[in-house]
Amino acid sequence: MNDNHQTPKIDRMKYLVELLNEASRAYYAQDVEIMSNLEYDTLYDELLALEQETGVVFANSPTVKVGYEVVEELPKEAHPSPMLSLDKTKSREELREWLQGKAGVLSWKLDGLTIVLTYREGKLVKALTRGNGEVGEIVTGNAKTFVNLPMSIPYQGELVLRGEAVISYSDFEKINARIEDVDAKYKNPRNLCSGSVRQLDSKVAAERSIRFYAFSMETMSYDAKTGATPGDVENGGEQPTLVTRTAQMDFLAAQGFEVVEHFLVTEDTIWEQMDEFARKIATFDIPSDGLVLTYDDIAYGISLGRTAKFPRHSIAFKWADEKKETVLQEIEWSASRTGLINPVAIFEPVELEGTTVSRASVHNVSILEGLRLGIGDRITVYKANMIIPQIAENLTGSGTVEIPARCPVCGGETQIKQVSDVKSLYCINEECPAKKIKAFTLFVSRNAMNMEGLSEATLEKFIELGYLHEFADLFRLDRYKEQIVSLEGFGEKSYQNLIESVEQARNTTLPRLIFALGIGGIGVANAKMLSKHFHHDFDAMRRADVLELSAIEGVGEVIATTFVEYMQQPANQAIMDHLLEEINIEIPVVEEGSQTLDGMNFVITGSLVHFENRDQLKEQIEQKGGKVTGSVTSKTTCLINNDVTSSSSKNKKAKELGVPILSEEEFLEKFMN
């Protein structure tokens, strides 16, 4: 049975949401009108009517506005029962025998982050990560930004379900394409998804195009509207109305959830269906590391109980990686902006999973030594999760590859550094062209100094020609006007555009400058946090020691040490001094007496009347020096909630800690007048 079985109305709604959002993007972002206002309004009204009729409202629907939430930390909560991993096999025969004559449901094993969702009275009230299986993290604000997640569903009882949050390969590539610094690009969709779902700022999660695919139900309470009876589906409660996995999937699809692609199989049909999945994996856009087989009969699966590690109602099938034997021809050493030099194995080309493969990253010196690699060694290679080429085994084990004492780019001295038992090779020459090219690329990127017209190729050419030695030289490119205009691909117009962009970058902010310097561990968020702590005083920031920096919330000793080491190096001090002669750091203007909420912490929950969303109120509080957090603690000045008498978790916590609970009106009167 295929999970694409959706009601026609919900299918129509999904189509309308996508079409209307596309029309809005074209109109507002590209100044292109792909449909008339009348057509847009007609389709919008149709979508609104369907939402009211079905009770389903998707998170990315143009009819709703989801406010973003920022928290200091993710609250943790214990799962009612342990979320166990599944037993695994790579044997097709074993998977078939496991059915024991029963019908099963075969589905993708998606490679993202498992999430448990709770809906009450048709509304999403909680999202919890799997965590360590015993305790998860509450990520409700972030879950509300998942692009395909229903915010409202027709079922009015309590519904708890599991699913996988994922980022598709195509969306992953789009996200990476926006990052100009090669070293800063994300490594794989699974890690990006996990980090995105666990962001403290849900606005960041919203930018990552996270999708949710349901794969099972946990519990379902009585709902007078549907006549469903109580039943703890996973943990042996009363017999649920939905007695099969396929019925569960149909029910979830009818509620508006996208469910994982699945098929009903028997011993006679399972291999045929596995072959179909294997055929699809080559072009499947969602990260998957195998299949899951579950007994269709829920009661039967529950009756089998569980081992100490695994439930017996399901089993995972891991793709048996296709391995090929080949010969190692070369180790290529690839230098980066930070000086890190990574080994890459070059071998005789082999066919793997339908493509020709001739190279694989070895990642670091520790892995290189562990594999005992040598030129001419016979090795086996495979694609991890059928995608990423890796070395599986070295059949020869000669161990003759030498770690280069000189950088392959500049010929400068190299050094092996060990961090947390991992050895890596670095070029210690600060003048290394590889470092320079990638450092300049970061410096001019969008989130840094935002200089247009300076691609990595152009920067490489300018460095090679001697126009650029340090960052300040970017602001002196007008010295080389005649030479630049005569370069291939340039001309008078291109030159003028470049110089205009450089001139605009002279006026910048401290967070942009700090991020642009490329200090290890300092991203955009940390740059903003440090700038705010030092009141946008660059001199004070430069003089700070490790102790002071470590005390800043969210920094820590490792980042603090890296920051201080960077600032204390004479060469870096000269770079910064020369740069300060060319730029103007704009300091945000704070009106005298306006910081009336300085040192105060607030938590906002529930709906608002005077503000369109929580972000607007948060901005007002921050402009007056206050701080808005996501959870109530003993440091909270007050909880803002228009439903003062509610029994919400935040209200309960505030009462336990003696934190005042104020309505919006009371807060405005007391703190904002």
Do the Cβ atoms of 436 and 412 come closer than 8 Å?
A: no
From the list 250, 284, 214, the residue with the least C-alpha distance to 5 is 250
Active site residue 109: yes
Cα–Cα dist 359/391, whole Å: 9
The 3-state DSSP composition of the chain as helix, strand, coil percent (nearest 5) reads 35, 25, 40
- Phi and psi at residue 549, to the nearest 5°: -70, -40
Answer left, alpha or beta for residue 376, where phi above 0 means left and psi between -120 and 50 means alpha. left
Spot the catalytic one: 109, 383, 436, 650. Answer: 109
**Checking DSSP bridges between strand 661-662 and strand 638-640, what pairing results, if any?**
parallel
Give Cα 394 to chain centroid, integer Å.
Answer: 34
Do the Cβ atoms of 211 and 165 come closer than 8 Å?
A: yes
Do the Cβ atoms of 448 and 512 come closer than 8 Å?
A: yes
Cα–Cα dist 34/43, whole Å: 13
Which 3 state secondary structure label does DSSP give 491? coil
- Judging by beta carbons within 10 Å of its beta carbon (0-12, 13-18, 19+), is residue 35 exposed, middle or buried? middle
Do the Cβ atoms of 233 and 241 come closer than 8 Å?
A: no
Q: Tell me how far apart the 2 most distant CA atoms of the chain are, in Å.
A: 83
Do the Cβ atoms of 615 and 68 come closer than 8 Å?
A: yes
- Say which DSSP state 647 is in: -
Which residues lie closer than 8 Å to 644 by C-beta, 6 or more apart? 651, 661, 662, 663
Which residues lie closer than 8 Å to 194 by C-beta, 6 or more apart? 112, 113
| CB neighbourhood size of 670 (10 A) | 11
- Phi and psi at residue 578, to the nearest 5°: -65, -35
What does each C-alpha distance from 403 to 341, 364, 373, 421 come to in angstroms?
10, 11, 11, 18
Which residues lie closer than 8 Å to 278 by C-beta, 6 or more apart? 319
Cα–Cα dist 590/598, whole Å: 12
Strand partners, 340: 426
What does each C-alpha distance from 338 to 416, 430, 519, 568 come to in angstroms?
14, 10, 9, 17
Catalytic residues, by residue number, are 109
